[in-house]
Amino acid sequence: MAKAFNWQLKREINYPYEPKRPKRQFAVVMDLNKCIACQTCTVACKTTWTPGRGQEYMLWNNVETKPWGFYPMGWDVKLLELLEGNKKTVFDAPEGERVLGWKPDDLDWMYPNVGEDEVNEPVDIGTVLERLPHPIWMFYLPRICNHCTYPACVAACPRQAIYKREEDGIVLIDPERCEGYQECIKACPYKKTMFNFVARISQKCIGCFPRVEEGLQPQCVITCIGKIRLMGFINPPEKARPDNPIDFLVHIKKVALPLYPQTGLEPNVYYIPPINVPLKFLKQMFGDAAEHAVETYMAMREGKEPELQALLHLFGSTPRIPHSFAVGANEVIAFDETGKEIVRVPLVEPLQFRSHKDERLDVVRQDIP
Amino acid sequence: MRTLIISLIVLGLAIAQEIVSKKVDRVPLDPFDRAWEGASAVEVPLAGQAVTTPMELKPTVSKLIVKSINDGKYIGFLLIWEDKTKDSFHLVGQFSDAVAVQIPYKPSAEVPVTMGEKNSRVLILHWTAARQENIDNGYSDVPKVYPNYAYDWYPHSTPPYEYPKDWANQYALNYIGGEKVFRKNTLNTPVREVVAEGFGSSTWKDVQGAEGKGIYKDGKWYVVIKRAFVEENTSNPDWGPGKSTFITFAVWDGSNGEVGARKSLSYSWIPLKIER
């Protein structure tokens, strides 16, 4: 076992291979305050990548309702049991194993909509939701592969059929090396590798790498109608650039957090936690940093974080990958890798007023609400 | 751990025997053919794989009965072992029973028994019940495994969307591993030829010639693995009538979650004498 530094845990973890960060690391930020579980991302991913034989049950992108939704069934409850909360990483494996994991069976995958729209507990008559966080709550959690810095799937595959790309950190399975042992499925704490029993290979989210190679954000990101997602490249904290949108959200403002960071994998999908949810639950899911993230987001709502508020306008505003951004008087501008402008988004749209009476024609307009 | 490995290897050596491949007129595929009757049966003890991770620390199969015959061109192995459950499917979270024989390319016991090493290759002939099931009862496609499944439409394939028949085009296959995976899945033999030079290196050969047949009867698997000593257009171990080489075995019990490195195996080379 080698040692690898995990900045999310601020300590070294065990890892079976020598740690090596890629030149660039794929990362996505998702603002959970805005997700409405329309599943447009799920469908976009499904129709693009998994309409094949043996892929019927596969959702590389899924959206589940928390606290009662799971895909596969009970995945994070079982994970917390295995890790004894946050006492272990998945690399603290028992004798004979590479990774601490559990293997879902086929029925576990059959209920992607379980718990959908269900709140945490029954609502009493007369309950009023006045203050944040709410006593009665639920939220939607969209999930893709985390393209982890220290992937458990890579660690677990005895055939080294899974690799992490040097150029963008995307984690891929080589179908020609894969023999369908399903060690990756057992190992991945987020359960984002899936077995195709017809082709007899495991398959997973490919981070839409053909798009990323062209400087474009993935399908699930650009099709999001709630504009909750932004894909970019994240740097480790000591190399964080304030003008990199992902670095700004994760490292500078610390408003976007990894999911179950205690796994030790350094997952690279970062979530802005939902402010309606009690902190106890958010801390269990995103770690202690959830408190600061919620405070910052609340401050933004009061106008105290103008730069952060401006940056959120970039979400869903361009299909291209923003490498840096700048905030103007009433706009936010994104730039590509070469520094060329790719989009300019107004923060407040200009308002146009039309009176209900057209004085010139002396008629009343019918289309004014 | 080291003590365990050494003790297992010593244990293996202590009971290592010789397998004689008896000369017959013809090597049959049928495990119950009379040709096998004259060959002497050798009992090979097996232990859980505990050298590399992931290990099999609670194996269910502890011995294998082996017979071998050859007809001068082909060599055959009859492998019999007890298994309470017949596991013929390789599905989500579910694995197939399997058996494999391993032969070094160079007839030397110096070749690491742990799947060889760089420049010391081994040939592995790997039979699985799941591939046998495909041949005996049709491919384990979606309607066979989930008869009540519903699906609207698959792009690039044509109704009734049967795998492999309706998926034999590049566009449809790109979703599910591509052409090479397809070829691997559609070989008309339950035995796959694999070369390896160390753990995790086993690689499917481009030219496949081995044949086999497995029958599950009264709580036991009876499996025949058959291969020509010399196959055209591919690499072959240094073996043949009148020669001696070495052999080891591995067994997988699917319902015990055994797959890949999780298996029972014979921990040392067993001399294989091939009659002329």
pLDDT at B130 over 50: yes
Q: Is the dihedral of CA A112, A116, A119, A121 positive or negative?
A: negative
pLDDT at B13 over 50: no
- Chain A residues lying within 8 Å of B170, measured CB to CB: none
- Rounded to two decimals, the ipTM of the complex is 0.93
Q: Is B32 within a domain?
A: yes
pLDDT at B16 over 80: no
Average pLDDT over residues A84-112: 95
Q: What is the greatest pairwise CA distance in chain A?
A: 87
Bridge partners, residue A196, by sequence: A201
pLDDT, position B134:
97
* Nearest alpha-carbon partner for A145 in A226, A233, A318, A26: A26
Distance (Å, whole) CA B104 – CA A88: 42
pLDDT, position A63:
98
**Whole-number mean pLDDT of chain B?**
93
pLDDT, position A186:
98
pLDDT, position B10:
44
Q: Is residue B10 within 8 angstroms of chain A, CB to CB?
A: no
Decide if A197 and B145 are in contact by the 8 Å CB cutoff: yes
Q: How far is CA B88 from CA A317, B81, B128, in A?
A: 51, 15, 8
Q: Is B10 within a domain?
A: no
User: What residues contact A329, with CB distance under 8 A and at least 6 apart?
Assistant: none
| Beta-carbon count within 10 A of A63 CB | 23
| Beta-carbon count within 10 A of A27 CB | 27
Q: Is residue B261 within 8 angstroms of chain A, CB to CB?
A: yes
Query: Cα angle vertex A328, ends A327, A333, to 5°?
Result: 55
What's the half-sphere exposure (Cβ side, CA atoms, 13 Å) at B24? 22
Q: How far is CA A278 from CA A134, A260, A275, A285, A293, in A?
A: 7, 16, 8, 11, 13
Residue type, A132: L
pLDDT at B24 over 90: yes
Q: Is B173 within a domain?
A: no
pLDDT, position A366:
82
CA distance A54 to chain B (A): 7
H or E, element range at B246: strand B244-252
pLDDT category at A355 given cuts 50, 70, 90 is confident
Distance (Å, whole) CA A162 – CA A159: 8
pLDDT, position B2:
46
pLDDT at B8 over 60: no
Instruction: Point out the residue among B161, B184, B202 whose CB comes nearest to the CB of A53.
Output: B161
Query: In percent, how much of chain B has pLDDT > 70?
Result: 94
pLDDT, position A369:
58
Average pLDDT over residues A176-197: 98
Whole-angstrom distance between the N-terminal and C-terminal Cα of chain A? 67
pLDDT at B14 over 60: no
**For an interface test with A, which of B2, B4, B49, B53 has the most A Cβ atoms less than 10 Å from its Cβ?**
B53
Check if CATH label 2.40.50.100 holds for domain A31-212. no
Q: How far is CA B276 from CA A123, A187, B107, B241, B273, in A?
A: 84, 50, 17, 5, 10
* Contact predicate B47/B86, CB 8 Å: no
Q: Is B246 within a domain?
A: yes
Average pLDDT over residues A297-311: 97
* Contact predicate B135/B88, CB 8 Å: no
pLDDT at A335 over 80: yes
pLDDT category at A368 given cuts 50, 70, 90 is low
pLDDT, position B3:
45
Residue of B nearest to A49 (CA): B175
Decide if A158 and B177 are in contact by the 8 Å CB cutoff: no
Decide if B175 and A52 are in contact by the 8 Å CB cutoff: yes
Average pLDDT over residues B112-122: 96
Per-state percent for chain A, helix, strand, coil, to nearest 5: 20, 20, 60
pLDDT category at A111 given cuts 50, 70, 90 is very high
Query: In percent, how much of chain A has pLDDT > 70?
Result: 99
**Whole-number mean pLDDT of chain A?**
96
Tokens of B90: 């390789």
User: What residues contact A305, with CB distance under 8 A and at least 6 apart?
Assistant: A253, A296, A299
Distance (Å, whole) CA A322 – CA A335: 6
Q: Is B76 within a domain?
A: yes
Residue type, B215: I
Number of domains in chain B: 1
Tokens of A28: 């996505």
Examine residue B160 and say whether the peptide bond preceding it is cis (omega within 30 degrees of 0): yes
Domain coverage including residue B198: 17-148+191-274
**Helices A290-301, A279-286: inter-axial angle, 10-degree rounding:** 120
Average pLDDT over residues A198-221: 98
Whole-angstrom distance between the N-terminal and C-terminal Cα of chain B? 43
H or E, element range at A155: helix A152-156
Tokens of A237: 């904290």
Query: Cα angle vertex A230, ends A110, A43, to 5°?
Result: 30
Q: Please name the residue ranges forming H helices in B86-234.
A: 129-137, 142-145, 170-173, 178-185
Residue pLDDT, tens place only, A255-274: 999 999 999 999 999 999 99
Residue corresponding to tokens 């890579």:
A154
pLDDT at B44 over 80: yes
* Contact predicate B141/B134, CB 8 Å: no
pLDDT at B11 over 70: no
Q: Please name the residue ranges forming H helices in A252-289.
A: 279-286
Question: Can you give the CATH number for the domain in which B97 is found?
Answer: 2.60.40.1190
Q: Is residue A33 within 8 angstroms of chain B, CB to CB?
A: no
pLDDT, position A178:
97
Q: How far is CA B135 from CA A53, B88, B185, B191, B211, in A?
A: 19, 11, 11, 11, 12
- Chain A residues lying within 8 Å of B155, measured CB to CB: 51
Q: Is B268 within a domain?
A: yes
| Beta-carbon count within 10 A of A143 CB | 24
Residue pLDDT, tens place only, A34-80: 999 999 999 999 999 999 999 999 999 999 999 999 999 999 999 99
Residue of B nearest to A16 (CA): B53
* Nearest alpha-carbon partner for A206 in A238, A249, A239, A163: A163
Residue corresponding to tokens 């009862």:
B137
DSSP single-letter state for residue A285: H
Average pLDDT over residues B187-201: 96
Q: Please name the residue ranges forming H helices in B109-233.
A: 129-137, 142-145, 170-173, 178-185
pLDDT at B12 over 50: no
pLDDT at B64 over 70: yes
Q: Please give the torsion angle defined by the CA atoms of residues B28, B34, B36 and B41, in that order, rounded to the nearest 10 degrees.
A: 160
Average pLDDT over residues A325-350: 96
User: What residues contact B53, with CB distance under 8 A and at least 6 apart?
Assistant: A93, A96, A97, A98, A158, B261
Tokens of A310: 């401006």
Q: Is B172 within a domain?
A: no
pTM: 0.94
Tokens of A55: 């892929």
Q: What is the greatest pairwise CA distance in chain B?
A: 60
pLDDT, position A354:
84
Decide if B93 and A196 are in contact by the 8 Å CB cutoff: no
pLDDT at B9 over 90: no
pLDDT, position A367:
74
